[in-house]
Each structure stands twice: as structure tokens, then as C-alpha cells.
Amino acid sequence: MTTDLSKLTTAAGKWDDMAAEFKKLEAQYRRDVHGITLGQTWLGVSANAANGRFTVTLNEYKAAQKEAKAIASLLRDAHTQFADLRNKVESVRDDAVKARMKVSEQGYVSFDTSRLSEGERTAYVHDPSYQESARKAAGEWNQAITAAVKAVSDADDGVRIALEAVVVDANPMDGTFNGFNGQAKDDVEEYEAEHAKDIATRINGGEKVSAQDLAELKRSFRDNAGSKEFSRTFLDGLGASGTLKFTNSLNDLAYGGDPGRKKDYLGLQKSLANTLSVATRDTGSEFYKKFRDDLRKAGVQKFDLDVAGDKIPVGTGHGQQVRGYQSLITLMQQGDGYSGRFLADVADDIRAAEDKKQGGDPDIWDLRGRFEGKEDGWFANDPLDGVLGIMSRDPETATSYLDPGPGDKNDNLKYLLTERDWNHVDTSTWTGNIERTGKDTFDQDVRAGLGLALEAGTTGNRPGAEGTEFGRHSAEQARIMHDAVNYLDYGAADGKSGEDKDHPRVGKADELLATDEYAAVRESLANALADYSPDMVDIIDGDAPGGRAGEKDAYAQGDDDSRIQNSRSSLLRVMRGVSEADDVSNFERMYQAQQGYMSQELMNGEFTSDTAVTNQARKVGEVTGALNAVGGDVRMDVHDEKISDATDKRFYGYHLGGGLITGIPVIGDGAQRLVDISLNEWLSGVQAEEGSLSKEELSRGNDVAEDKLDAYFDKWGEERHMNPDWTDAAAGEAGQSYYKGRETAYEALRSRT
């Protein structure tokens, strides 16, 4: 903190002066010594021999200038880094002091009680929670100052590495032994990258590197996080193939080596992933073009990975190798901040490697053994699904990648939902001692990345994000959602609209989504459908632009008013399919979201006549009837043990355990009070529908649901101070419309013609 950093720039100036002096000597030597061998006065073998020696010396004068200038540049680079980092240390210290902390000269932070008033000091002394809060705050400031000081130390080590390396002759064949460095670099980060590459190369070669080397590698990544120069130099030095070998080596050490050092190796993986992220952000650079070309080749090549090779102890599959793209996506899952173009390019290249229409091999990613769950799910045996999961962290990229576009010019969504081979697990059957190849199958996390990408791409939100206000969507988002529903239900983007009389289409989204192959997609789709509650309510009720029958394309009206236009029956089947799970959370999420939207419409709407009231009540009744019928078909009774004690405590946006349901859109206080009425013991109305289904008495009434609709509209009348006659009329209309909605749902789920 007290060092005079200007001495670095002063020294740099002297190194520049030295380079200038060497330039003068070079000119003199060229003229007075080297030049003699080029004239006509000295000819023959001795002249040729002398010319070779003199050329070496002349080049040394040039190399001396190069080295001196590089050292000057490194010293200036060091000055810039140290000055900036020292300012950050001072800034953190100042912020700590402003936060009523005391900072010693050694950087230790404690709560400054001397700045308390008499009353505050008394409260501090007698309040243990106050003391604990102060200690916690002081600890956080200690960590912040320690991190800032550590950054200076890291930078200092980086400069040391650069200054040690810049004076080493990089060309041992230039005629001198450890002469001046004619290939000296003028960037500290480049030398750090070269040093890190050397350690990584030794790890790739199977060498057991020291703890000091690993610590140095960790420091280099930490010190250069965000440095484009370091990242590109490091990756360029290893090449795409070397980078994939390095990540495989780290995974073998992490998952098959010393358990005590697993955290260190995974930390290096995360740093490597972020290095890749930084290096590939400028997708127009020459580095990017070359690295991507190298990845296309290395991505389909086979590499050793012990944790995969040892997956099958004996027989077919033992010693199996993995493909480069599997290793790449496994690595990328550890990082963040990738450019959208890079993610899309990687996805395109992976698809090209597997898509038969593009000359690829659908079985290229097949491996023996399962890579799923907490133990083995870290490995991206399905790289395309893996990169889709990474895309979901950047919703704009997910939207762009999946959007069919006007005229369905982009076929990524179609490929993923209707054409792709998702079975990447090879199997065997045994007859005695004879092993035969079985049918390919899938992991339990199959399509997990697809589900996340669909959620992000259709909503514009990262999966699991907190809910925002109800609204419409962009044209791009609506197109994805619309086509996805139709692909899932009918296997075609235009849904039932595109069928002909000789080839009628049968909607089977409920059956398809209920299979194990789509288990990992269901929650994400439920989140997305909850976000589309305004569209779904309108479609179920018939108020949507495309009516209840729907249209073949989405209603694309820009960023503020685009909507899906699927048929009502398709949406109901998709809702039923995603509700097939071990708990009721998916159905509950959609149910609550649609109830929340309708409650908000009731609370915010302008009702100037009994007709306006009954029209809105009709919508509430019809949608509630459809929802309850779908829920009844899910067999809610199997969950009684879990939820019987909590049914009277449920309210909008919360699970039965009290945890917030992510993705539920936000509603106002009035709508919140209203929707609590409809959701209080909501399960009883759904279970009444289940009873009708189980006894095949579909025409039987649902007194429980009607009672709840009456209570709902009574509460609405109180909140809005409505005319009691209007409230009664609304409840009556809702009760009648309820049965229309439930019959619609029953028909959608039972019809298979």
C-alpha cells in the first residue's frame, strides 16, 4: 500500500532507452562488421563462415531490442494492474469504514463501537443478536478485503512469471545458447497462459503434477478471469483436442482420483469453462473461426475417459471411449456467460454430427451404462440435450434457436420434437455366456435440457425464475409454444389443421407426455404453461383470436400481444400429460396460475352491467370445470396422504409445505385475497371429479365445486362492493358453465377417433 509504483514506469523508460542503444549498436555492427562479408573484398569459404557467425550476432542485437522493449511493456502492464488493484483495496476499505467498521493497518476488520451513540452502545451490549449481526458483517468485510489483497498478490505472481520467462531464449536453434529472446512477448497474460498451458500439457501426459503446480494453475485462472488475451493464448496453445483431453484428465482426477482433492479439480474445471466462455465471445475473430473448425474435428473423435471406460467392468463397453462433444458439453456445464452465437454454433455442429439428413450418425453418442442422477449425471452423454440446458440460462438464445420463424424456416424445434433419436444407451442381452446387442434405451434425465430450453425460449425467463406479472409474449416465443404443443399432440406444427380426410390426426399429447421418456420435460412445460395462462384461459373459454378450434399458426402481433392459437383439446391434453408425476406440483402450478389470472381479471375489470358480470363468470366457470376435470383424471387420490393435512392451508403461489412455487406470475393484493377463496380446499372439487370418473358417471353433478364457485363470487362481491343480484347471477352462470368446461375436458381426454 505504500510502494511508489511510479518506479515501475521509470524503470520501463530505462529499458526503452536500452533498446534504443542496442538499435544504434545494431546499425554500427551491420555497417562495420557484418557488412564486410557482403562486399567484394572478402570472398571464399572463410567469408561465408564469417557471414554465418556475424548474422547470428546481428540477430542478437535485434533480439536484445525485442527483449528490452518487451520488459518495458511488462513493467508498464504491471504498473497499470497494481495501481488499479490497489485502488480497489482502498475502495473496499473505505466502504467498510462507511459501514461503521474499523480497519487496522494489517486489514483486519472489526465493528467500530466507538462510533455508537450512548443509546446504541447500550443496545449493543445487551442485545446478543445485535452483536452477532455486527460480527457477521465484520466477517463479510474481512472476506472482501482479503479477496482484494489476494488479487494484488495474484497479479504480482503473474508479473513474476512473465519477467522470468521473457529473458529465456525461446529459440534454441538460433545459434546461441540462452541468448537474447527474439520472440519476447509484451503481455503479462500471455506469459501466464503459456505457463498454465505447460502445466495442463503435463497433466494431459499423465504426469503427476505437484500441489504447487496445481495451486499455480488455479491462481493463473483466478488472476486472469475475464482476460481475453490469457484465455485465447491458453486455448490456442492446447488446441481443441488438447483442451478436451485436459477436461477429461481433470474429470478422471476428480471422480476417480483422491476424494480429498475432488473440490480442487472441479474448481479447475469451472475455471477452464469460464476461460472457454471468455475466449469464444468474439465470434467474428480469427481465433474463434480456427477454434470452431478444430472443434468440429475433435468433437467427433474418441477420447479416453476412465470414468466412462470403467463404467462396464467386464464385457462389451469396458474401456469405451467418449466423443469430444460429450467432453466439451460436460465442461461447458460448469461455466456461464457464453455468447449466444457460440452456443448456437456448437448445437448446430453437434446436430450435423448426428443428423442422418446431414450425413451424421444418430448413434454417435451411444455408450454402455447409464449417466444419470447425482452420481453420474454430471457427464453429458447426450451433448445436444446438454447444450440446450446451457442455452436455457440465456433465454434470448434459447428463443432464437428454437423459433421456427415465419414460414417454419428453422427446423430445430421440429427435429428435436419429432425426428431426433434420443436413445443413447447401448444395451446387451445374455443367453448363457453369449452376449447379444439389445435395443438402445435412454437415461432417466433424457430431454431434461430440451425441457429447460423450451421453458426459457417460450417465456423469456430463466427456468425456475421468480414469476413476473401476467402478460402476452413476443411473436418468437409464441411461435415456439404454439408449435411445441402441436408437435407433442399431433406430431405436426399445424396441429389438426393440416390433416386430410384420408389421414386424420389423433391428439395424443396426454399419453406421450405421461411416458418415462418425457418425465424430465414435464415440470418445465408446466412452468411455461403457467406463464401462458392468459392465452390458455381465453382458448378454453373460446375468447381467443383462434377460437376453441385454434389456428395452424400462432397469433403473431409483435412483442406485446402475440399469443398461441392451439386448439382447446390440444392444450387440455398437454396439461394432462405434464400432470403425470409423483406429486401434484405440476398440475397445481398450472391450476393456481390460471385461477390467479381469472381472479385478477375479476378484480381489475370494469363491469357496468349484469351482462358484463355474467360473461366474466361464464369464463371462470368453464375454465374451472375444465381444470377440475383434468385434475380428476390425474388420480389425485394417490396423493391424499401427502396433502390431506395441508388442503385448508393452501394459497396462491405456494406448495403445501409452504415453499414458494417458482414461475407463478404475480397478482395484486385484491386478486390474492380472492384467489385464496377458490384455492382453499381446492383439492376437494378436483377429487369429486375423480369420483365421477372412477364410477364412469360423467353426467353426475359436482356439488362441491359449485359450492366453491358460490363462495368465490360471494367474496368477489364483497371485495368489489358489487350489487348482490349481480353476484348471484354470476355464481349461477359460473355453475352452469362449469359443466360445459368439464365435458370439454372429458371429451379431449377420452376421444381417440
**Does position 675 have pLDDT exceeding 70, yes or no?**
yes
Residue with cell 359450492: 707
Q: Do residue 73 and residue 215 come from a single domain?
A: no
Last residue of a domain, one of 345, 362, 386: 386
Exposed, middle or buried: residue 432 (CB in 10 Å: 0-12, 13-18, 19+)?
Answer: exposed
Residue 647 pLDDT: 47
**What is the number of domains present in the chain?**
4
Pull the grid cell for residue 482. 404454439
Same domain, 567 and 636: no
Which cell numbers in the block locate residue 738? 362449469
Residues 405 and 308 in one domain: no
Give the dihedral sign, CA 163/164/170/174: positive
Whether 548 shows a pLDDT value over 70: the answer reads yes
Give 751's pLDDT tier (boundaries 50, 70, 90). low
Same domain, 224 and 262: yes
> According to the model, what pLDDT value does residue 716 have?
92
Same-domain pairing of 400 and 508: yes
CB burial of 77-95 (b: ≥16 within 10 Å; e: otherwise) equals bbbebbeebbeebeebbee
For 490, phi then psi, to 5°, come to -115, -10
- Please give the Cα distance from 388 to 380 (Å, whole number): 11
Give the chain's end-to-end CA distance (angstroms, integer): 81
Residue 1 lies in a domain: no
The Cα 476–Cα 484 span in angstroms is: 12
Q: Distance between CA 598 and CA 613 in Å, rounded?
A: 13
Same domain membership, residue 366 and residue 234:
yes
Q: How high is the pLDDT of residue 509?
A: 95
175 occurs within a structural domain: no
Assess if residue 544 is contained within a domain. Answer: yes
- Residue 665 in contact with residue 530, Cβ under 8 Å? yes
Q: How large is the average pLDDT for residues 708-723?
A: 91
Q: Are residues 450 and 401 in contact, defined by beta-carbon separation less than 8 angstroms? A: no
* Cα–Cα distance list, 746 to 426, 690, 721, 742, 752 (Å): 40, 11, 36, 6, 12
Helices within 183-227 (DSSP H only): 188-204, 211-223
Domain boundary among 142, 166, 190: 166
Q: 583: pLDDT confidence band, cut at 50, 70 and 90?
A: low
**pLDDT tens profile 720-736:** 999 999 999 999 999 99
Instruction: Give, as one character, the DSSP assignment of residue 653.
Output: T
Residue 582: its pLDDT value, please?
Answer: 67
Q: What's the chain's average pLDDT? A: 90
The torsion of the CA quartet 48, 51, 53, 55, rounded to 10 degrees, works out to -150
Which residue in the block uniquely carries the three cell numbers 390431506?
A: 644
Question: What residues pair up with 111 in beta bridges, in sequence order?
Answer: 101
Range of the domain at 43: 6-166
pLDDT at residue 289, as a whole number: 97
CB-based burial, 608-621: b 16+ in 10 Å, e otherwise: eebeebbbbbbbbb
Quick check: is 186 in a domain?
no
Cell numbers at 393, concatenated:
440460462
Residue 58 has pLDDT above 60, yes or no: yes
Q: Are residues 551 and 639 in the same domain?
A: no
- Looking at residue 339, what is its pLDDT? 97
Residue 404 shares a structural domain with residue 356: no
- Angle at the Cα of 507 from the Cα atoms of 504 and 512, rounded to 5 degrees: 135
Q: How many angstroms separate the CA atoms of 527 and 429, rounded?
A: 39
Is the predicted pLDDT of residue 492 greater than 80, yes or no? yes
Spatial separation of the C-alpha atoms in residues 480 and 525, rounded to whole Å: 12
Provide the pLDDT confidence category of residue 701 given band limits of 50, 70 and 90: confident
Task: Name the pLDDT band for 694 (thresholds 50, 70, 90).
Answer: low
Separation CA 672–CA 676 (nearest Å): 6
Instruction: Tell whether 339 and 457 lie within a shared domain.
Output: no
Q: Could you say which DSSP state residue 454 is in?
A: H
How do residues 164-182 score in pLDDT, each as one tens digit?
999 999 888 888 888 999 9
Which value, in Å, is the radius of gyration of the alpha carbons in the chain?
Answer: 34
What single letter denotes the amino acid at residue 51?
Answer: N
Question: Domain check: are 397 and 370 in the same one?
Answer: no
Number of helices (H), then strands (E), belonging to the chain: the values are 29, 8
Label residue 558 by pLDDT band (50, 70, 90).
confident
Report phi then psi at 282, rounded to 5.
Answer: -90, 90
502 domain-assigned:
yes
Q: Which cell is 100 given?
A: 461503521
What average pLDDT does range 521-528 have in this prediction? 95
Beta 428-431 vs 101-103: how paired, if at all?
Answer: unpaired
Q: Are residues 630 and 560 in the same domain?
A: no
What pLDDT is recorded for position 524? 95
Of the ranges 406-420, 577-591, 679-693, the best mean pLDDT one: 406-420
Q: Name the pairing type of β-strands 367-368 and 425-426.
A: parallel
Within a domain: 176? no
CB 162 within 8 A of CB 191: yes
pLDDT digits (tens, 9 = 90+) for 620-667: 999 999 999 898 888 654 444 444 444 444 567 765 555 666 678 888
Q: Is residue 192 part of a domain?
A: no
- Residue 728 domain-assigned (yes or no): yes
Distance CA 556, CA 565 (A): 10
- Model pLDDT for residues 95-120, shown as the tens digit of each residue: 999 999 999 988 999 999 999 999 99
pLDDT, tens digit (0-9, with 9 covering 90-100), for 443-460:
999 999 999 999 999 999
CB atoms within 10 A of CB 44: 7
Percent of the chain with pLDDT over 90: 72
The predicted structure's pLDDT at residue 697: 56
Residue among 640, 639, 531, 658 at smallest CA distance from 592:
531
Dist. CA 611–CA 602, nearest whole Å: 14
In the numeric block, which cell numbers belong to residue 81? 494492474
Domain boundary among 558, 581, 604: 581
Answer whether 507's CB lies under 8 Å from 489's CB. Answer: yes
pLDDT band of 201, cuts 50, 70, 90: very high
Contacting residues for 566 by C-beta, under 8 A, at least 6 apart: 482, 485, 486, 489, 495, 539, 546, 550
Q: For residues 512 and 561, state if they share a domain.
A: yes
Q: What is the DSSP letter of 664?
A: P
Which pLDDT value is given to residue 313? 82
Tell me the pTM: 0.86
Flag the least confident range among 110-114, 122-126, 217-221, 583-587.
583-587
The per-residue pLDDT for 43 is 81
**Gap between the Cα atoms of 303 and 330, Å rounded:** 13
Confidence band, pLDDT 50/70/90 cuts, at residue 680: low
Per-residue pLDDT, averaged over 313-326, amounts to: 90
